[in-house]
Structure 1
Amino acid sequence: MNRLVLLFLLLAGGAAYGQQPTGDSLLQDASLPNVIRYAIKNQPRVQQALVDEKITDLQIKSRLADWYPQVNFNYIYQHNFQVQTNIIGGNPVRLGVANTSAFQFGATQTIFNRDVLLANRTRNEVRLQARQQSENTRIDIASDVSKAFYDVLATQQQIRVSDENIVRLERSLRDARAQYDAGVVDKTDYKRATIALNNARALRKSNEEALKAKTEYLKALMNYPETGELKIIYDSATLEQEIPVDTMQGVDYSRRIEYQLLETQRRLQEANVQYNRWSYLPSLSANGAYNLNYLNDQFSKLYNNSFPASYAGLTLAFPIFQGGKRKYNLEQSKWQLKRTDLEITNLKNSVNAEYASALAAYKSALVNYLAVRDNVELAQEVYDVINLQYRSGIKTYLEVITSETDLRTAQINYFNALYQVLSSKIDVQRTKGDLKY
């Protein structure tokens, strides 16, 4: 009976552990800032970067531990089946006993060693490098999540435009059918209305399927529960206020996280050059031991008497010749430093090109946005006038379809332009190093 209860508890615990996270793991207000914060908190890549920071810190502590005294204890027991014999004064003499044992206590203290000296001098830079790697990961996540968020919004707006378009087309179809039944027009008008309505419904279905895929991609970037609902919240007026960005400010390389990483790497390379220079210096350590030795031919009396021995001393190790290894390692570290300098130069060139490209894309998107922003209101006015004239028998239904198409296109172009300029702004901010998370 107890075994059955235990089995039930284990199965219940495993089932609870395997469930998808709910409650606090779901966003109630999925605005862009909240979505970014959620992704940075839950994305495995960010968590891996934080784990790497912890591992780096422990590695540093492990290496710095060599500065502390290293205390060891050894226990030795040896039974000699045949004791060594030597000739002394022409007589054979046994050198030893059948049983030997020892309790050995030893300690060493590093005074100068280039390995621990390097770890001590570079510990802050190594920790800084790990933190910068984490920041770089967070910036990548924030940039990707923001663009995916805008992509979802654009698709949602296309669906909303399709809904409005379907309502208008359904009304137009009813009007065209009524006029046909009244003998005012032929059947061409309501057939065209039917074709347009079918196309609008098909486009809406296509956008709905695209929205599902884009939403799942955004949830994947956020590490959001697959079964959790993600309700995007936005304010069009706020989004429009976020469009401006300072395009007159030049590029400051020091603000780019990639540049900061290379600067940290360069300082570590300089420390590595110094480390290889230290290879020509001797290493110095203090050492000492206290041993309790036990000697007896009979094992039962082995530990009756001890013969202690102790010592303390210094060890100076100086490698005289290693086949040129130290020279080659020093030259290699100098070339690695030179390579890092070249990487910094290459990054500066890349940053300039990236900024110019991102700025050009932003300005182009901004011009397009300003051009299409007023088209929505104009297209709506044109459609309302032509639709009214059609009902009065002044305009043909073909002109109604054309004006309706222009209105739908203007609305879709507006939202696409809005989210495109916002996405382009993210690229500008990133190339300038303004994205900080």
Structure 2
Amino acid sequence: MKPQMLHLRRAAWLLLLLTGLAPVMQAQTPSQLPSPFTLKNALEFALAHKSTVKKAKLDEENSEHKIAEVRSRALPTVTGTGSLTYNPVLQLSAVPGDLAGQPGTTLLIPFGQKWNSNAAIALQQNLFDQSVFTGLKAARTAQEYYKILSTLTDEQTIEQVASNYYQVLVQRQKLVVIDSNIATTTRVKNVIEGQYKNGLARKIDLDRTRVNISNLQAQRQQIFNAVQIQENTLKFYMGMDIATTIDIPAATFSEIEPSLQLADARPDMTRMTDYQLLKKQETLLHFQKDAVKAEYYPTLSLNGNYGYQGLGNKFPIGGSKPAVNWFDYASIGLNLKIPIFNGFATRSRVRQADVDIKKVKEDLKNTELSLNLAYENAKAQISNSIITLNNQRENVQLAQEVYENSRNNYNQGLAPLTDLLDAENSLTTAQNNYSSALLDYRLAEIQLIKAQGKLTSLLN
């Protein structure tokens, strides 16, 4: 029976282990990711898993606890105390002998009891403290500050993920181009190889095609490595495990329709997240100044306590008269603190707060100029990228026509192989340049959307 019980326990433990880990394993399974993995999927994944986004959300959550902490200063404070003291040797005090009918002598008399116990409860309530009211306002503003900071973190994450996502796309597009060129060149090589066997082509032409294929394969390996590196970078910005497999479609670029309509909507710079964050920081600095000025105000608090004390020559707890004497006591009072002079320390701190406020005002001016500059530069960049994109698209069409003509001429014996290889290389270069132009357009589009404060629109 014992071996059977041992097997049952192991089986039960394994079942618990598997059922406990099942949700985690399911969450990390690459097959659970959508395929194809679109930009929207990447952004949603990043906003749910990136550590910087999570930390910003935790800061936002922590601001609520800070408000509760400041609010506690306006609530009463209640404390309880208790003590038990045993005096094995009582201290002697000198008293005149006249008190005992022995004039001219000094008597040493022990005062106190062998046992002393005490239990008390104390209450303190602030009735007026200007710093408490200021702190409550500042805490609420700090909560708003962290909300804006969390929004800014989301926008920065969206920008990073979108930029890297498009860079993966362009590398994948280049991989598609090089694979197509390898396939085309391989077909040409097979034709020349057949012609060479029949004595209709030169060996040097066959060797040239083989060298060209070898060069293309080397380029493909470089592009493939670039795809892997760029994908790993994208996964990092998404907060994804590097080992996770994602399926990013290379065909997305064909859906791009360049447009200047995005540049028509000029944003209100005062509504940008960066600007709002500084404005909220300015408000916090004003509250900081008010908190320092609160030191000029008096404070008033209510104090009260109630206690119970037991004295005797025997252990007091549970004891009664005459061996132990128990009695209670209570007190209520007001504490008023009026600041009179502290060596101008408060005045100096107020002036320091004024300087900090002036500095953040300058930051606001500089930020507004910077946001306007970013918007104008983004407009110019997207305009230039559209022109370049259209030119590169025409170059691809022209290079394709040249390649088709060169291939026909070569097949008819009207052109040498070098013309065909040159046309093929020109087509590859034009296609790669077009892919790079598409990337530049997308990156410029992201910067323009960022300059307009609409990065979250990429989630739609």
1:164-202 deviation per Cα after TM superposition (whole angstroms, max 9, x unaligned)? 101111122123334444444433322221221111111
User: Does the Cα contact within 8 Å between 1:294 and 1:302 map onto a contact in 2?
Assistant: no
Aligned to 2:373: 353
Cα distance in 1 for partners of 2:329, 2:209 equals 108
User: Does the Cα contact within 8 Å between 2:196 and 2:206 map onto a contact in 1?
Assistant: yes
1:206-253 deviation per Cα after TM superposition (whole angstroms, max 9, x unaligned)? 111111111111112212233321001365477413754532443422
Aligned to 1:422: 442
Helix, strand or coil for the counterpart of 2:391? helix
Cα distance in 2 for partners of 1:155, 1:234 equals 9
Cα distance in 1 for partners of 2:430, 2:333 equals 88
Matched, 1:77 2:84: yes
Report the number of matched residues: 437
Cα distance in 1 for partners of 2:259, 2:432 equals 18
Aligned to 1:46: 53
Q: Partner letter of residue 56 of structure 1?
A: S
Relative to structure 1, the CA distance from residue 345 to residue 415 in structure 2 (aligned partners, 3 Å threshold; closer, same or farther) is same
RMSD, aligned CA: 2.9
Matched, 1:246 2:262: yes
Matched, 1:145 2:145: no
User: Does the Cα contact within 8 Å between 2:235 and 2:242 map onto a contact in 1?
Assistant: yes
Cα distance in 2 for partners of 1:26, 1:424 equals 28
Pairing 1:203-218 to 2, within 5 Å after superposition? 203-218=219-234
Aligned with residue 329 of structure 1, among 349, 372, 389: 349
Larger deviation: 312-321 or 43-52?
Answer: 312-321
Aligned to 1:131: 147
1:101-151 deviation per Cα after TM superposition (whole angstroms, max 9, x unaligned)? 221111111122244222211232111111112111111111111111111
Cα distance in 1 for partners of 2:348, 2:83 equals 43
Matched, 1:409 2:429: yes
Matched, 1:55 2:71: no
Relative to structure 1, the CA distance from residue 24 to residue 331 in structure 2 (aligned partners, 3 Å threshold; closer, same or farther) is farther
Aligned to 1:381: 401
Pairing 1:297-316 to 2, within 5 Å after superposition? 297-300=313-316, 303-304=319-320, 305-316=325-336
Relative to structure 1, the CA distance from residue 186 to residue 235 in structure 2 (aligned partners, 3 Å threshold; closer, same or farther) is closer
Report percent identity of matched pairs: 24
Pairing 1:83-98 to 2, within 5 Å after superposition? 83=91, 85=93, 87=95, 90-91=98-99, 95-98=111-114
Cα distance in 2 for partners of 1:103, 1:242 equals 80
Aligned to 1:22: 29
Cα distance in 2 for partners of 1:69, 1:238 equals 68
TM-score (norm 2): 0.86
1:74-118 deviation per Cα after TM superposition (whole angstroms, max 9, x unaligned)? 112233432463647943676533332221111111122244222
Cα distance in 2 for partners of 1:352, 1:181 equals 68
Cα distance in 1 for partners of 2:397, 2:317 equals 109
Aligned to 2:281: 265
Matched, 1:162 2:154: no
Aligned to 1:394: 414
Q: Greater CA radius of gyration, 1 or 2?
A: 2
Cα distance in 2 for partners of 1:402, 1:261 equals 56
Q: Partner letter of residue 162 of structure 2?
A: S
Relative to structure 1, the CA distance from residue 3 to residue 335 in structure 2 (aligned partners, 3 Å threshold; closer, same or farther) is farther
User: Does the Cα contact within 8 Å between 2:269 and 2:372 map onto a contact in 1?
Assistant: no
TM-aligned CA deviation for residue 11 of structure 1: 12
Q: Partner letter of residue 152 of structure 1?
A: V
Aligned with residue 34 of structure 1, among 12, 21, 41: 41
Relative to structure 1, the CA distance from residue 52 to residue 102 in structure 2 (aligned partners, 3 Å threshold; closer, same or farther) is same
TM-aligned CA deviation for residue 61 of structure 1: 0.9
Relative to structure 1, the CA distance from residue 375 to residue 314 in structure 2 (aligned partners, 3 Å threshold; closer, same or farther) is same
